[in-house]
Amino acid sequence: MAAFSFNKLVIFGVGLIGGSLARALRERDGVSGARTVVGVGRSAASTARALELGVIDAAATFDDPVALRAALAGADIVLLAAPVAQTQPLLERIAPLLDAATIVTDAGSTKSDVVAAARAALGSRVAQFVPGHPIAGRESSGVDAALADLYVDRNVVLCALPENAPRDVERVAAMWRASGAAVHEMSPEQHDRVLASVSHLPHVLSFALVEQILGSPDAALKFSFAAGGFRDFTRIAASSPEMWRDICVANRAALLDELDDYTAVLARLRAAIEAGDGAALEAVFARSREARSGWQAGGSKTGTDDASK
């Protein structure tokens, strides 16, 4: 694990994602400095539990300009760990309060919209913003679910801007590596295409299956007989509705492409089932099983990606 030092980290949204980073930087080896963590929430109640658990040292509310200015003064890094639709309002509010040396990054699950929001909110100061996305999570949400090892062996994607200083990108990368993560770089567009396929689409399908059953006249009976397969497939439907609403809207172009491709596969399977074509079904199932087994053997970690923050 690479060494990392910080004096003051400010986290907007001290839930699972922000809280886990705070815990990792406090509790894992290889991190030095004052290591002061300030949490900023919509209300005092939203950060009270984080204070009680010792995840943060101090708290401020978004609507208290005096406390917010004090929170941001002298900050090394600011992390936005809030739903992506809040990115531009947050950046607009903090832009006049940022020190010139403060680096701002985020944990949003979409990146093209976040970059556009940063450019609109920060203007000529957009170089201070390094877009990022830790691909990790749990079914449980909130700061009580935060883990110091949540990011160990998980991927974090940075989508560096042309304006970013290489040293600032490396500093954000070092922060995530200190939490145990592996850091990769992609363009915002590539990130959104990839995540639409392997994260956003699975969440939509999981929510959709539960919705389908809820709409049936014998929903209660079906739920009473649901077992392991249903539990595994719908596990991620326990994630934050607010967050996934924002992700689907923000990444709708890439997600619609994935939905169209998935619908085409479903149509092929439906035709094979209707025709009683067992050979065609088995060929698809065998190919999928082999690919999934190879992915699992390659070191994938179980758990929810992009769970409630």
CATH number at residue 270: 1.10.3660.10
Question: Encoding tokens for residue 142?
Answer: 């909130």
Same domain, 120 and 206: no
Instruction: Please say whether the beta carbons of 288 and 296 come within 8 A.
Output: no
The residues near 7 (Cβ < 8 Å, ≥ 6 apart) are 33, 34, 35, 36, 74, 76
**pLDDT at residue 139, as a whole number:** 67
Three-state SS for 215-282 is CCCCHHHHHHHCCHHHHHHHHHHHCCHHHHHHHHHHCHHHHHHHHHHHHHHHHHHHHHHHHCCHHHHH
User: How do residues 109-137 score in pLDDT, each as one tens digit?
Assistant: 999 999 999 999 999 999 999 999 999 87
At residue 309, does pLDDT exceed 80?
no
Instruction: Work out whether strand 129-130 and strand 103-106 pair parallel, antiparallel, or are unpaired.
Output: parallel
Residue 308 covered by a domain: no
At residue 28, does pLDDT exceed 50?
yes
Helix (H, G, I), strand (E, B) or coil at 144: helix
Residue 238 neighbours by CB distance under 10 Å: 16
Distance CA 268, CA 303 (A): 30
**pLDDT at residue 308, as a whole number:** 41
Residue 171 covered by a domain: yes
Residue 231 covered by a domain: yes
Of 152, 170, 186, which residue sits at a domain end?
186
Distance CA 146, CA 16 (A): 5
At residue 291, does pLDDT exceed 70?
yes
CATH code: domain of residue 85: 3.40.50.720
Our count of domains for the chain comes to 2
Question: Encoding tokens for residue 47?
Answer: 């950060």
Of 140, 164, 186, which residue sits at a domain end?
186
Q: If pLDDT is split at 50, 70 and 90, which confidence band does 300 have?
A: low
**pLDDT at residue 243, as a whole number:** 86
Of 168, 186, 204, which residue sits at a domain end?
186
Same domain, 17 and 157: yes
**pLDDT at residue 29, as a whole number:** 85
Distance of CA 217 to the CA centre of its chain: 35
Give the range among 22-26, 41-45, 68-72, 245-249 with minimum mean pLDDT.
41-45
At residue 239, does pLDDT exceed 90?
no
Same domain, 48 and 147: yes
Give the range among 17-26, 190-199, 232-241, 283-292 with minimum mean pLDDT.
232-241
| Residue 216 backbone dihedrals phi, psi, to 5 degrees | -90, 150
Tell the residue number behind the tokens 């049936």, with chain if given. Answer: 216
**pLDDT at residue 137, as a whole number:** 77
**pLDDT at residue 3, as a whole number:** 81
Residue 303 covered by a domain: no
Q: If pLDDT is split at 50, 70 and 90, which confidence band does 303 have?
A: very low
Instruction: Work out whether strand 155-158 and strand 129-130 pair parallel, antiparallel, or are unpaired.
Output: unpaired
Same domain, 97 and 112: yes
Same domain, 168 and 142: yes
Same domain, 164 and 240: no
Tell the residue number behind the tokens 């299956």, with chain if given. Answer: 209
Same domain, 168 and 252: no
User: How do residues 56-80 score in pLDDT, each as one tens digit?
Assistant: 999 999 989 999 999 999 999 999 9
**pLDDT at residue 30, as a whole number:** 86
Residue 206 covered by a domain: yes
User: How do residues 162-201 score in pLDDT, each as one tens digit?
Assistant: 999 999 999 999 999 999 999 999 999 999 999 999 999 9
Residue 307 covered by a domain: no
Same domain, 15 and 150: yes
Tell the residue number behind the tokens 């658990």, with chain if given. Answer: 53
User: Percent of the chain scored above 70 by pLDDT?
Assistant: 95
Residue 304 covered by a domain: no
Range of the domain at 55: 4-186
Pick the more confident residue, 232 or 302. 232
Residue 302 covered by a domain: no
